[in-house]
């Protein structure tokens, strides 16, 4: 995906410290540019988060959904979607 909605950008701006020690973006425009540069992905369910990690070669077979949701790369969006940002 190369377009991120405002909800996605705001969530990333608010929660970026869960993945990065210092802010990487301060405005919606900076957040969008950063997410595009690192090819962040928006998925519709925790199952799709699991599939994304499996396709990336990460072993998540024995990881419960709750633990997957708490991964620093996973940002839960208010509408039950997920933003995955690889730092």
Q: What is the pLDDT of residues 54-63, one digit of tens each?
A: 999 999 999 9
- Phi and psi torsions of 69, nearest 5°: -65, -25
Confidence grade of residue 3 (pLDDT, cut at 50, 70, 90): confident
């377009």: which residue's tokens?
3
Other Cβ atoms less than 10 A from the Cβ of 50: the count is: 17
Per-domain residue ranges of the chain: 6-84
- Retrieve residue 51's tokens: 């599939």
| Mean pLDDT of the residues in the chain | 94
The pTM for the full model equals: 0.92
What digits encode the pLDDT tens for the residues 33-67?
A: 999 999 999 999 999 999 999 999 999 999 999 99
Direct distance between the N- and C-terminal alpha carbons of the chain, in angstroms, rounded to an integer: 17
What distances in angstroms separate CA 86 from CA 16, 20, 31, one per listed residue? Answer: 11, 10, 14
User: Is the Cβ–Cβ distance between 46 and 27 less than 8 Å?
Assistant: no
């Amino acid at each position: 995906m190369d377009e991120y909605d405002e909800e996605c950008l705001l969530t990333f701006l608010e929660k970026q410290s869960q993945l990065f020690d210092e802010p990487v973006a301060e405005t919606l425009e900076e957040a969008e540019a950063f997410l595009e540069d690192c090819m962040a992905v928006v998925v519709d369910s925790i199952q799709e988060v699991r599939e994304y990690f499996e396709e990336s070669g990460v072993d998540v077979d024995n990881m419960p959904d709750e633990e997957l949701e708490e991964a620093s790369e996973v940002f839960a969006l208010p509408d039950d979607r997920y933003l995955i940002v690889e730092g």
